[in-house]
Amino acid sequence: MDRHPHSEKEKKYLIDAIDAFNRKLLIIAPDYTILACNNVAMEGHTESIIGRPCYDIILGGGDGPCANCPAKEVLKTGNASLRYDHCYDLAVSPDMLCLYSYPVHRDGEVDALVMLDFDLQALKNIEERRLRSNGFLRNLIHSAVDGVIASDLTGKIIIFNEAASQMTGYTVKEALNDITIRDVYVGDGAREVMRMLLSHEHGGEGKLISYHIDGKNKNGDVVPISLNASVVYENGNKVATIGFFHDRRDEIRMQKELEKTQVQLLQAEKMASMGKMAAGVAHQLNNPLSGIILFTKLVMEEYGLPEDARKDLERVLDDAKRAKDIVKELLEFARQTSHDMKPQNINEIISRTVFLLENQSIFHNIDIRKHLDERVPMIFGDAQQLSHVFMNIILNAADALSGRGQLTIQTSLSADNKTVCVEISDTGHGIPADVIPHIFEPFYTTKEQGKGTGLGLSIVYGIVESHGGRIRAESETGCGTTFFMEFPAAKSGNGGGQIG
């Protein structure tokens, strides 16, 4: 730029303006001798400072230029220099003025340097604010609930917060030094995310919103995540990517629980309506069956019957009695029979049931293991019926084991001490997934005709329900089956719990 010729009047104003400037201003030669100064710089000096080295007039000045003098930088680079990093250094004397320096060129050479001081306190405040806001941002990222991971374009991780550390198992130091963004995804996940980020279809270019992808932790386990990510631009150039990682494991677990509860609810509804139907049919059958039994007995007693006819009537009587037993079981399922409810020790009931069964020949090659927790409290119930529950489940297990394998019976107390849990598992042939939803239905059986009525588990279900409990089965075909039962612990003091 061409020099603007100053008129005398202009020059006078310029000098006045420099003098009115309320900070110290010096003009020095490249050898640090003072060429000119404003009025404020003269304050405190009785003799003229012109011609003296600038470091001479500084409070505590030494033999040569100060160690961090900005003029040195100007002489080296030809550019203005701010001794910024020392401005907030309290060791710097507030009297020192060599904070900002810029060159005055003549014929392409540095002819002189202007030295200015600044309001130290103001600079210090700016710096403090900068540090504070940086610290605040850092805190914000580190205390975020979601994992925050930023990486540069080579994949090097540059931000990794606490939540990311918890989710992945890497320490912040490990993440910043030892791994890249590619290590926190399964397979080619990082590339996939980058591709999505660069396309328009997932929240706009440079953005990816609520994208479900599999992350990978330090142990190599898969962590399903929901990812919000964006590209970071600086002056229009892509410089990094930042991602907010939300761990979906809890959400998925809750979803599964909910689905399971819904299935149980449906099952309970279905069983309740079947119970009503079974009770209706049973009552309808009860009267004619009683009639058949009564009149058959009468005929058998009152007439001198030939032997053949008597034998036939005995068969009628036997079959009618069997039908009556089935009706009785149906009523049991529909909870229409009276019970003798009192506090019961479930471990004792299980032991007695196992004792009755284990000597039967079908159990000879079955390894029965009991893990009965002594601490389980009493439950309120009918000993006979509870025994019936365990007997039915154990007999089914024996059938599934075809006489050989392992049967495990375990009791335990829930963490909140309110529920007694019973688990009965076998290593038998298991139940196919499409059969499980039906096993508690009355008359559902996979056994050949004459081997099973399909009433066993429906009665079990009815009894467990009437004890305020719950039952469900889990199975893997070829591996075995486990029945899980829960009964409310009887409240101590009144000797009984709530009955459903």
Ligand X SMILES: Nc1ncnc2c1ncn2[C@@H]1O[C@H](COP(=O)(O)OP(=O)(O)OP(=O)(O)O)[C@@H](O)[C@H]1O
Options 216-224, 228-236, 290-298, 392-400: segment touching ligand X (CB under 6 A): 392-400
Query: Would you state the structure tokens that stand for residue 92, as one six-digit string?
Result: 């710097």
Query: Would you state the structure tokens that stand for residue 136, as one six-digit string?
Result: 């605040």
Which residue, 426 or 486, has its beta carbon nearer to ligand X?
426
* Host H or E run for residue 244: strand 237-247
Strands (E), 352-497: 366-372, 379-381, 405-413, 419-426, 470-476, 480-488
Q: Is 408 in the site for ligand X (CB under 6 A)?
A: no
- CA–CA distance, 63 with 256 (Å, rounded to integer): 79
CB of 399 to Mg ion, least distance (A): 7
Q: Is 397 in the site for ligand X (CB under 6 A)?
A: yes
Partner touching 81 among Mg ion, ligand X, none, CB below 5 to 8 Å by kind? none
Task: Return phi, psi of residue 384, to 5°.
Answer: -60, -45
Contact between 184 and 168 under an 8 Å Cβ cutoff? The reply is yes
Which residue, 275 or 456, has its beta carbon nearer to Mg ion?
456
Chain-centroid distance of CA 187 in Å reads: 22
Q: Is 396 in the site for Mg ion (CB under 5 A)?
A: yes
Q: Is 422 in the site for ligand X (CB under 6 A)?
A: no
Considering only 99, 223, 400, 471, the residue that binds ligand X (CB under 6 A) is: 400
CB of 431 to ligand X, least distance (A): 4
Considering only 351, 406, 408, 445, the residue that binds ligand X (CB under 6 A) is: 445
Q: Is 148 in the site for ligand X (CB under 6 A)?
A: no
Q: Is 175 in the site for ligand X (CB under 6 A)?
A: no
Q: Is 396 in the site for ligand X (CB under 6 A)?
A: yes
Residues numbered 453 to 492 that lie near ligand X (CB under 6 A) are 453-458, 481
Partner touching 397 among Mg ion, ligand X, none, CB below 5 to 8 Å by kind? ligand X
Instruction: List, in order, residues 6 or more apart from 242 with CB less than 8 Å away.
Output: 148, 149, 150, 159, 229, 230, 232
Considering only 332, 426, 465, 486, the residue that binds ligand X (CB under 6 A) is: 426
Pairing outcome for strands 342-344 and 379-381: antiparallel
Considering only 103, 428, 462, 497, the residue that binds ligand X (CB under 6 A) is: 428
Task: Return phi, psi of residue 308, to 5°.
Answer: -60, -45
* Host H or E run for residue 85: helix 84-87
- CA–CA distance, 499 with 469 (Å, rounded to integer): 9
Task: Return phi, psi of residue 394, to 5°.
Answer: -70, -40
Chain residues that interact with Mg ion, rule: CB under 5 A: 396, 456
Chain residues that interact with ligand X, rule: CB under 6 A: 392, 396-397, 400, 426, 428-431, 439, 444-447, 452-458, 481
